[in-house]
A and B are shown apart, each in its own frame.
Chain A
Amino acid sequence: MNFAFCRFGSLSLTLWLTACQPVPEANSNQGLVYCAEGSPESFNPQLVTSGTTIDAVSQHLYDRLLDIDPETGALKPALAQQWSVSADGLVYRFKLRQQVSFHHTDYFKPSRFLTAEDIVFTFNRMLLVEHPFFQTATEYPYFDSIEWRQRVQKVSALSHDEVEFRLNQPDSSFLSVLATDFAAILSAEYGALLIAQNEKPLLDSQPIGTGPFKFRQYQKNVLIRYYRHDEYWRQHGSLQQLVIDIVPDNTKRLAKLLTRECDVAPIPRLAELQMLSSKPGFIVDQQTSMNVGFWAFNTRKAPFNQVEVRQALAMAINKPNILQAVYFGQAEEATSVLPPNSWAYRHEAQHQSFNPAKAKALLAQAGYPDGFSIDIWAMPIQRMYNPNAQKMAELIQADLRAIGVKARIVSYEWNTFRRKLRQGEHDSVLIGWSADNADPDNFLRPLLSCAAAISGSNRANWCDEQFDQFISSALKTTDVQQRRSYYLAAQQYLQQQMPLVPIAHSKRFQVKNSGVLGVTINPYGGISFMNAGKTP
């Protein structure tokens, strides 16, 4: 044994001494390596919300009924070729594309194309307790959060290529829900096979979908390997293999990018981006994401129940300074809760002026000429919408001192932090929100509605009938112009009431080496390699 090793050893020594040539660039142009920051929790997007899992799974393995155009944010046909909405807004009908094939793998050989049965199978899983796979998952976080079971009455197949969704009440954000990465279409035939084999949990760990790549291999914390789905219904790139290399350490991921062991990687640390963008051979892609970082006041507590106080505090902070120090200039200043690439964004919104003198006057007007003291809760973790809440809190603390408000910075361990927030123990908090779909409702409702104040995601504990009326009316109409006008009114109202101060919409960054083509980052969800290729 040892002798054999010696032979190998000496062989490797001699070869090593002669092998001082550059590493061949990521081995071959047949495959592409995406270095991800963590392992996926599941291979079924229905069961998760984490961005890591969505990036690793959804766009590669699955298709949805509808897609979102990354440029305009408009909906476009995917598995559904056409759709129609009934006049009362309660019935949605989809006509499916013909000859869409599922993945052909070692563990499943599909015998038919996609039919309406698959769509019903997919969406009934979250809807019906008696669905054979309902019990195999403990929760459906995204669908639970949008109250799928309350929204949808029935999903049924009208013919082999026509599906009907019947809703309980009109809901104009419904199509956006179907276009999210979570609404991936599964195979009913595969489900039936797993029931027969009594291996139900495999539905979520050995995936079958219709997407541009099919599952090949997964080693936890090591890698995921996908092969090309040759019978994919769309035109797609020529990549034979897509490997997702799991590298949790930021520095190691950066190193692998530099040595070309990774072709594409998400780089969350803004300081490193400047180094990379100055290096030849690397391209930094950026995209304003559908997120917002904000400073919310607990409007149930005095003095934050007074509009003047909230206005004064908003006026007292120097946002451009925060953008520079916390986001290294890699974010857009927020004027509204909605990011500028949302179709309902209010373009005429004014930038909040930085005006300590006026802020002081407003405070005096509200009855606090000598200021007061305030707790600023800074979240303990790094998120895309707020990469460093502690530092942001310190900057705000300094700004507030200028208008005579004494601020104290508070932080807890993340779980405790969220629990205490839900209980409303804070004065004010620095936190944020990332949207799951392009619909403006996805920002306004969970952040500021009365219902959210009860369920706990409304960090300002703000409940205002006028505002709720705006966003409910917007949901009840399907006319986009009219919806937009409701949302504009709601945003204007927010700017006047200031239950929270929107601070920034951070950008999302993806670094790739310049040989990689056709990779796009999507503001609404996961990364897609459908059209990816490499120059030799």
Chain B
Amino acid sequence: MILRYLARRLFLLGFVFVALTVFVFSLNYLFPGDLVSNLTGLRDISPERHHHLQQILALDQSLWQQYIAYNRRILSGDWGLSFASQQPVLHEIARVLPATLELAAYALCLSLIAGIPLGLLAAIKKDSILDRCISGLALIGYSMPIFWLALIFIMLFSLQLGWLPTSGRLGVLFEVPSQTGFMFVDILLAGEINRSEAAYNALLHLAMPTFILAVYPTNVMIRFVRASMLEVLDQNYVKTARAKGLSRTQVLYRHGLRNALLPVTRQVGLQFSTLITLAMLTEVIFSWPGIGHWLIDSIYQRNYPAIQAGLMVVSSLVICVNMLTEILHTLFNPLARKL
């Protein structure tokens, strides 16, 4: 049963990836400029080299063959060079992606830690002043454009109060070589620096971007958890449990919470794509050296190989996370498998 379900999901995943690669592959033809340049990222190619590359890229064969060759290169890690730096695009992505993952993961955790309890609280105390306050705040946070909020925060916390730095991941005087790309791990691995001072500095740099990025998903989470909990509390089995004489807390923990939080796993997956989009905005505002910042720079520079690769990586990431949460949701919730 579950195997069949997994097989079905994996088949769907494969299909989505085929569609994605077809789209990215076709971009090479849609972007202006020389096809060989767009595919390899090389510039000013000599005629002999050009001819040679055409053969390697299978450009003298049918479109289908070209697509196969393209996929083969993608799988073997040959993603071409960046126009701007003439470095392999995949290396550049490996350098910037961890920064984005780090930021997004912290923000997601923050939104779960803050969003779930607040949502539950609002549901339990339905229609009280507390509920009104939480729901009202959630609505305001939900409708606040984050670039605006981010600028206000910078004005307040950096320029007025001078508490937090405005940009980057770490003070530039700390020399932390990028080994894993994850700041705290790199700080642990770095030699010859004051680790605790560096970690503290990294935290200060992290605070504002994380908070700003967490605002939207937190509010979505509050609203979602509240609605889900209210729905569960309205179910017959909850009423029955109450009628059997279980206390309010017992009902809440044994029957309410587990059932109300089930849809949350799925929601995390759905929120992930929004989170990545917002992360791009946040990165630009706070000069966070992540993939969003890098991708937007690449768009400004008309750096086609980088745009393609960035698109591919970000989309794959979103698709995989979505699929993963979907599967987790199904594993926890036998009811979903039948659907």
Contact = CB atoms under 8 A, between A and B. Distances in A.
A binds B: yes
Interface string B186-227: 000000000001001101101100110000000000000000
Interface of A: 2, 5-6, 8-10, 12-13, 15-16, 19-24, 26-28, 30-31, 33, 216-217, 220, 222-223, 225, 241, 243, 245, 247, 252, 255-256, 258-261
Interface string B164-206: 1111100111110000000010000000000001001101101
A41 to B, nearest CB: 14
Contacts of B204: 19, 23
14 contacts: A8-B106, A13-B110, A16-B206, A19-B203, A22-B162, A23-B204, A33-B172, A222-B289, A225-B175, A243-B172, A258-B162, A259-B165, A261-B165, A261-B167
B113 A9 contact: yes
B134 interface: no
A118 B110 CA distance: 59
A252 B106 contact: no
Contacts of B175: 216-217, 225, 241
Contacts of B158: 255, 258-259
A8 B110 CA distance: 10
Contacts of B210: 12, 16
Given A22-B163, A23-B162, A252-B167, A12 B203 contact: yes
B109 A241 contact: no
B154 interface: yes
A23 B167 contact: no
Choose among B106, B168, B174, B197 the residue with the greatest number of A CB atoms under 10 Å from its CB.
B106
A30 B173 contact: yes
Contact of B172 (A5, A12, A245): A245
B316 interface: no
Contacts of B201: 24, 27
A9 B159 contact: no
Contacts of A220: 85
Contacts of A252: 166-167, 287
Contact of A20 (B112, B113, B163, B211): B163
B105 A261 contact: no
A222 to B, nearest CB: 7
A241 B105 CA distance: 33
User: Interface residues of A: mostly helix, strand, loop or mixed?
Assistant: mixed
A10 B173 contact: no
Nearest to B206: A12
B43 to A, nearest CB: 15
B163 A21 contact: yes
B282 to A, nearest CB: 15
B107 to A, nearest CB: 8
A259 B207 contact: no
Contacts of A223: 172
B105 A256 contact: no
B164 to A, nearest CB: 7
B173 A260 contact: no
Nearest to B164: A23
B162 A26 contact: no
Contact of B113 (A10, A217, A225, A243): A10
Contact of B173 (A5, A16, A31, A259): A31
B289 to A, nearest CB: 7
A21 B108 CA distance: 25
A252 B151 CA distance: 12
A272 to B, nearest CB: 13
Given A5-B106, A12-B203, A260 B172 contact: no
A261 B166 contact: yes
A33 B175 CA distance: 13
A358 B90 CA distance: 70
Contacts of B165: 23, 259, 261
Contacts of A255: 154, 158-159, 166-167
Interface string B50-91: 000000000000000000000000000000000001000000
Contacts of B106: 5, 8-9, 12
Nearest to B170: A27
Contacts of B168: 261
A125 B53 CA distance: 36
Nearest to B201: A27
Contacts of A260: 162
Interface in B76-135: 85, 105-106, 108-110, 112-113
B200 A19 contact: yes
Contacts of A22: 162-163
Choose among A12, A30, A255, A256 the residue with the greatest number of B CB atoms under 10 Å from its CB.
A12
